[in-house]
């Protein structure tokens, strides 16, 4: 090939890889919960993210990566300015700062589940990765973290990042004989196929009997056999439960 007319390699694409991004996320206390290659039609339905003008309709372009908390998240967060300044929404503010910086380093567009309306469709994105599934209780279940899922943000890279295949071909719930997520809730707020009885859940958390859920996390989420993979510290679950139960 004539070197004068040889195509110039994209410097971003050639230096990016899934393993490098995984390593960068882990240093921050985050993990890649999954990824996929969205079409322009999908991204048009995704608030806050705009695809390049040259993206062909119907053709996957770029890579969307979902980021969530890793087992190392809580100790790192606790030493951050956001955790110590006494202001509201410390985890969300930490997530915005850390993931925005990661996006800038990777020339990506960040998105967050807590900015809106309109809100970015994290549940739809999660299902599109092939690493999250809808459980019988209608809560999402992840192939590693079970029901201890905490999405902190997403990165949209305009380059195509090769992704490892999802480790499971089908939902883990299909081979879960006991399905404890349906029976662990003391007030049966979670039913097979839904709906979620939110009022019953909050009433339980207001009672002395709800102390365990408030201090260590939702019993149904903890009951999922895969949730042990999250190695979640009770203090982190207690933080999330306090914000969930604010009235």
Domain ranges of the chain: 11-244
- Flag whether pLDDT at 10 surpasses 60: no
74 and 106 in contact (C-beta within 8 Å)?
no
Q: pLDDT tier at 24 (50, 70, 90 boundaries)?
A: very high
- Flag whether pLDDT at 94 surpasses 90: yes
The strand order across the sheet containing 151-157 reads 30-36, 63-69, 151-157, 109-111
More confident residue, 45 or 81: 81
Give mean pLDDT, residues 137-163. Answer: 95
Average pLDDT of the chain is 88
Q: pLDDT tier at 136 (50, 70, 90 boundaries)?
A: very high
Kindly give, in sequence order, each residue whose CB lies less than 8 Å from that of residue 196, ignoring residues fewer than 6 positions away.
Answer: 137, 138, 189, 190
Extract the tokens encoding 175. Answer: 């081979």
Measure the CA–CA gap between 42 and 40, rounded to whole angstroms: 5
**Structure confidence at residue 57 (pLDDT):** 54
Angle, helices 234-244/90-105, rounded to nearest 10 degrees: 110
195 and 116 in contact (C-beta within 8 Å)?
no
Measure the CA–CA gap between 222 and 228, rounded to whole angstroms: 8
Question: What pLDDT, in 10s, does the model give residues 140-152?
Answer: 999 999 999 999 9
Measure the CA–CA gap between 32 and 22, rounded to whole angstroms: 6
pTM greater than the 0.85 cutoff: yes
DSSP 121: -
- Flag whether pLDDT at 131 surpasses 60: yes
Give mean pLDDT, residues 52-63. Answer: 61
Q: pLDDT tier at 181 (50, 70, 90 boundaries)?
A: very high
């Amino acid at each position: 090939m004539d070197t004068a007319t040889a195509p110039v390699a994209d410097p971003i694409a050639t230096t990016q890889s899934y393993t490098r991004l995984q390593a960068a996320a882990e240093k921050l206390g985050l993990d890649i919960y999954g990824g996929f290659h969205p079409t322009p039609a999908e991204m048009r339905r995704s608030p806050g993210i705009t695809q390049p003008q040259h993206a062909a309709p119907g053709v996957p372009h770029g890579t969307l990566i979902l980021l969530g908390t890793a087992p190392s998240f809580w100790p790192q967060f606790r030493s951050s300015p956001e955790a110590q300044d006494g202001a509201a929404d410390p985890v969300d503010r930490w997530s915005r700062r850390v993931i925005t910086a990661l996006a800038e380093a990777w020339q990506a567009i960040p998105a967050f589940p807590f900015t809106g309306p309109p809100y970015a469709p994290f549940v739809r994105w999660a299902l599109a990765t092939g690493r999250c599934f809808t459980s019988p209780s209608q809560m999402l279940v992840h192939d590693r973290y079970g029901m201890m899922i905490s999405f902190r943000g997403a990165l949209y890279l305009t380059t195509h990042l090769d992704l490892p295949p999802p480790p499971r071909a089908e939902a883990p719930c299909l081979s879960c004989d006991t399905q404890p997520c349906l029976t662990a809730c003391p007030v049966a707020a979670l039913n097979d196929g839904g709906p979620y009885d939110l009022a019953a859940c909050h009433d339980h958390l207001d009672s002395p009997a709800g102390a365990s859920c408030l201090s260590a996390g939702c019993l149904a989420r903890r009951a999922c056999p895969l949730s042990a993979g999250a190695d979640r510290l009770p203090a982190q679950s207690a933080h999330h439960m306090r914000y969930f139960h604010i009235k």
